[in-house]
Structure 1
Amino acid sequence: MLRHRSHWVMILASLLLAIVIHAMLSAQGLPTQRSVATSPFGIQVIDEATGRGVPLIELRTTNEIRLVTDNAGWVAVDEPGLMGQKVFFAITGHGYEFPADGFGKRGRALEVLPGKSVQLKVHRKNIAQRLYRITGQGQFHHSTHLGMPSPWRRPNLNAQVMGQDSTQAVVLGDRILWTWGDTARASYPLGNFATSGAWSQLPKDGGMDPALGIDQAYLVDDTGFSKPMYQNDIDGTVIWMHGLFTLEDNDGQTKAVTHYTVREGLGKQHRSGIAVFNEEKELFEQVTQFPESVRLYPQGQAFKHTDDDQAYIYFATPYPMLRVPAKWDAVLDPAQYEAWTCLEEGAQFHQKSPQLARNPQGKLDYAWRKGTDLVGAQQQRQLEQAGYIQPGEGWIQTTDIDQGRKITLHRGSVRWNDYLDCWVMIANEIHGEESDLGEVYFLTSKTIPGTWEKAKKIVTHDKYTFYNPVQHAFLDQADGKLIYFDGTYTKQFSATQVGTPRYDYNTIMYRLDLSDERLNTMK
């Protein structure tokens, strides 16, 4: 009986306590029941010319809530306090522009209603069209949140990759071998620093339309994370690769070949040489080590070209001023590499005491020379500033044709283009006006190494970096009228301190239509 009475006393006490708490909350105007979840409000930003969703467009509220469109151009607004309210969204995006109102504000006030959506149009100032972010996490984050389908099999996380740097890719057999540099993971700040890799199918062999995506199948470790492509025996170092290309070995087998360097980031180099991809192990194996004194080795982005009946592998840095005979034994021998240079045979580059080669008339003598440092755009600029080369005298005379000013290109690629019947370069500028390392240019040349005098800006970034751009010729469409290129989007080396959520330190794909009338000035 006592136990039964105690039970009822506890129930009554609990009810009384609940009544008291309810009264207290009501007196303070606080909610007395659990909030009901609502469907998000969707905003899609589209290109006014194409109707396609634009990624990397930022929408910002007056209290600094920052939303960035995903690959399909969507953002999902699910802020509880803003539901049912009229909210102003400022709209900005690298190379895209929203119309200004009478006060010069570029944005729109919208009724934020759960489950509803609107479209907003932006004007593309870029000549190249931003298509999608290739790497990282959450490429279709907002679309997924809104319950919309994605064209990708893995729309929001692939091989646990959060961030990835600088693309090198080649066609190997009937597949594309993709590689990237340092790779961030989801589970810990330290990721993979010995190169990452993935396979994809060529579009003509069942792969995705490059206008929609790539659909990479990453090479992963036992945890499912993107695995290292090199075995590294030196703690605290990274392995970077440059100048990836394919070549037949002495047995007639086509191999993926590259230069590797084991180093302490941007600091000390421990060793370097040539590595070859082992398809069975899906690893790059270091087959030779170059002497520390070696001056010429694969760099940048590679391509093949025949000069005077000799096939060469050229390396664009971004100018194609470095090459080696396209022979297996030559590639492994650093003495066979040669630079298109104005230095005397065997000379090293010294800014304060350059050994310049000049002909009897006193003009700079450029030639292919072995064991001699090349004089690229930045080296030539240094010599001009020091007074050893007069303005207009050096080989590289690249001008922004719209602004009429000389520019210095940093990195890029060179590819043959059937549509234009010439070589095309996609490269970024160093020390640009809108960004220090984020302005991307288009150039053409009928010859190699070419002079590349006219440059047309095709992509701009506002105080943000977009480095190591590379055109993927195996994705060309319409006989080369449409070309595709990507680069690394990162706050590094820029004036921006806070990175773009999900996008920072990842690669982004662009498409350039070579029939665009804005490129006519290149002819």
Structure 2
Amino acid sequence: MSLPRAFARPAVQTISQRRSLGWLLLLVVSLTAPSQREALALEPCRIDVVDESNGWPVPLVELRTTHHVRFVTDNAGRIAFDLPELMNQETWFTVEGHGYGVTADGFGQRGVRLTPRPGERLTVNVHRQLPAKRLGRITGGGLFGESQKLGLEKDWRDQGVLGCDSVQTVAHQGKLYWNWGDTTVPHYPLGIFDMTGATTSLKPLKHFEPPIRLHYDYVVDEKGRPRGVAPIAGSGPTWLSGYASLPDASGAHHLVATYSKIRPPLEEYEVGLCVWNDDRSLFEKERTLWTKSRGVPKSPPCPRGHPVSWKDDAGAEWMLFGDPFPALKCRATFEDWSDPSRWQALEPQGTVISRDGTEQVKPHRGCIAWNAYRRKWVAIFTQMYGKPSLLGEIWYAEADAPTGPWRDAVNVVTHQHYTFYNPRIHPEFTNEDSPVLLFEGTYTKTFSQANEATPRHDYNQVLYRLDLDDPDLVGSSAPR
């Protein structure tokens, strides 16, 4: 296409002619392309997803268009809708909320019709199907990514971690010490495979309603990036478990853990004990407990899982190690933890009957804790071979003693064909007599039937809340 004669370049141009030509071209573009400029400058439409029972924003709810564009609410329950082809158009959004949803229409479709317009605000009300309330993600990137595209949550800053596996946490020296497994980072596909560490205050959340904001003081390298804290020698990742703070004979407390060395695909080939070095901010090997061989193909019982302290009838204090139910105990001292000859193996309960008596629920992984409000030991665990998610159904149960018998299991969280494993109760977050029980777990596509990973959320920790005075959870009974 040739320029009109008026814009044809002469053989020789003065500076003033060139400037005039430039202004004329700019004027032509400004007059002939207003629609393209407006499309590029479209302001997003804000969509809020809220729980119709309490008005709280609901994180991790997906809205999907009929041409398969996915939007997922952030920690504030917001979506910044920005598709130019659907602005000012009545649009169907399929709603998938992992325990939150909308009523199906006559064709069985679960969704809503909205007409997004630039700069406007729309609301989608969803109903919660099970007792637990989702509070939001507490790890990863883009926790308020949708809100920030709308010009909100400007003060929030992500911390250089995009995803992380199962958590261990314990109170130690006046802080909460956190550790996560394999960790995804922005700067390379292979992330951190020898645990990531951080600290927070003992009560890191100011409130227990969404949106939540949990900021960590990560252990970082010389570039200020989160780094590994368990460089135990040997090929493959290092995973830690059995995280505890124990006093020695002099009264000094030691942060301790059990390590596992892993080789592809998920083969554990060495297990041992390790101790935190405060000066170096990392775990150091204390001793090897087991190395895989033909003669000894499986690890013997050792201090794994999420331990709890417990006093027996004689007043002796013990550490109970289990995942979820106690499988090993030792006296609550550094010396007893360090000496396998002082350990006592326990037989954990294999299944828990549901509260309605219709199902024997087989636990996969989980955590127990004493609950002063219920005056019971309580458990949160993932169900093995659950439905609709193989490893994404979370159950609550109670017992009079930490060793059981555990009973009255209630399904409190579901994940639609997605995994939610290794849940961890956080009794330290709340006051001792609070009816609020908080727990987190790893939300991941791994081991699930999902065809796609949820953007930003996959392979991260999501926090839930249970209200222990909720009749849907514990029936009409008062605290026992």
TM-score bucket of the superposed structures, by smaller chain: 0.7 to 0.9
Shift of 1:399: 1.7
Equivalent residue runs for 1:475-490 within 5 Å? 475-477=429-431, 479-490=433-444
SS of residue matched to 1:161: coil
Corresponding residue number in structure 1 for 2:62: 58
> Does structure 1 residue 139 correspond to structure 2 residue 138?
no
Shift of 1:507: 0.5
Equivalent residues, number: 455
Shift of 1:300: 1.1
CA contact under 8 A between 1:489 and 1:507: conserved in structure 2?
yes
Corresponding residue number in structure 1 for 2:4: none
SS of residue matched to 2:192: coil
Shift of 1:153: 4.0
> Does structure 1 residue 417 correspond to structure 2 residue 371?
yes
Deviations 1:82-123 (A, max 9, x none): 222222212121001113344443222222111111122110
Deviations 1:105-157 (A, max 9, x none): 3222222111111122110012010001011110111111111126x742xx2
Corresponding residue number in structure 2 for 1:317: 323
Shift of 1:32: 7.2
Shift of 1:202: 2.2
Corresponding residue number in structure 1 for 2:3: none
CA contact under 8 A between 1:185 and 1:225: conserved in structure 2?
no
Corresponding residue number in structure 2 for 1:297: 302
Equivalent residue runs for 1:122-521 within 5 Å? 122-149=126-153, 153-154=156-157, 157-158=158-159, 160-203=160-203, 208-211=206-209, 212-234=212-234, 236-265=235-264, 267-292=266-291, 295-309=300-314, 310-341=316-347, 376=348, 396-402=350-356, 404-477=358-431, 479-521=433-475
Gaps (5+ residues) in structure 1? 342-375, 377-394
RMSD: 2.8
CA contact under 8 A between 1:255 and 1:276: conserved in structure 2?
yes
Shift of 1:7: 1.7
SS of residue matched to 2:406: coil
Q: Distance in 1 between matches of 2:422 and 2:85?
A: 42
Shift of 1:13: 13
Q: Distance in 2 between matches of 1:210 and 1:130?
A: 10
CA contact under 8 A between 1:440 and 1:459: conserved in structure 2?
yes
Shift of 1:400: 2.5
Shift of 1:488: 0.2
Instruction: State which of 43, 53, 68 in structure 2 corresponds to 1:39.
Output: 43
CA contact under 8 A between 1:166 and 1:507: conserved in structure 2?
yes
CA contact under 8 A between 2:368 and 2:402: conserved in structure 1?
no
CA contact under 8 A between 1:162 and 1:186: conserved in structure 2?
yes
Corresponding residue number in structure 1 for 2:6: none
Flag the 1:477–1:266 CA change in 2: closer, same or farther, 3 A: farther
Instruction: State which of 89, 107, 110 in structure 1 corresponds to 2:111.
Output: 107
Flag the 1:185–1:452 CA change in 2: closer, same or farther, 3 A: same
Deviations 1:237-286 (A, max 9, x none): 11101111111023311121111122215544453221111223221121
SS of residue matched to 1:258: strand
CA contact under 8 A between 1:477 and 1:483: conserved in structure 2?
no
Shift of 1:215: 1.8
TM-score of the superposed pair, with normalisation by structure 2: 0.88
CA contact under 8 A between 2:351 and 2:362: conserved in structure 1?
no
Flag the 1:36–1:433 CA change in 2: closer, same or farther, 3 A: closer
Q: Distance in 2 between matches of 1:92 and 1:34?
A: 32
SS of residue matched to 2:188: coil
Out of 321-330 and 124-133, give the one that drifted further: 321-330
SS of residue matched to 2:131: coil
Shift of 1:182: 0.5
Shift of 1:44: 0.4
Instruction: State which of 118, 122, 125 in structure 1 corresponds to 2:122.
Output: 118
1:209 counterpart letter in structure 2? H
SS of residue matched to 1:148: coil
Flag the 1:5–1:435 CA change in 2: closer, same or farther, 3 A: closer
Q: Distance in 1 between matches of 2:217 and 2:277?
A: 17
Flag the 1:139–1:231 CA change in 2: closer, same or farther, 3 A: same
Gaps (5+ residues) in structure 2? 1-8
Q: Distance in 2 between matches of 1:233 and 1:224?
A: 24
CA contact under 8 A between 2:94 and 2:112: conserved in structure 1?
yes
1:46 counterpart letter in structure 2? V
Q: Distance in 2 between matches of 1:127 and 1:305?
A: 28
SS of residue matched to 2:189: coil
Q: Distance in 1 between matches of 2:37 and 2:124?
A: 36
CA contact under 8 A between 2:356 and 2:408: conserved in structure 1?
no
Q: Distance in 2 between matches of 1:55 and 1:471?
A: 20
Percent identity between matched residues is 35
1:178 counterpart letter in structure 2? W
Flag the 1:257–1:83 CA change in 2: closer, same or farther, 3 A: same
2:358 counterpart letter in structure 1? G
Corresponding residue number in structure 2 for 1:349: none
Q: Distance in 1 between matches of 2:101 and 2:135?
A: 16
> Does structure 1 residue 69 correspond to structure 2 residue 73?
yes
TM-score of the superposed pair, with normalisation by structure 1: 0.81
Q: Distance in 2 between matches of 1:12 and 1:286?
A: 72
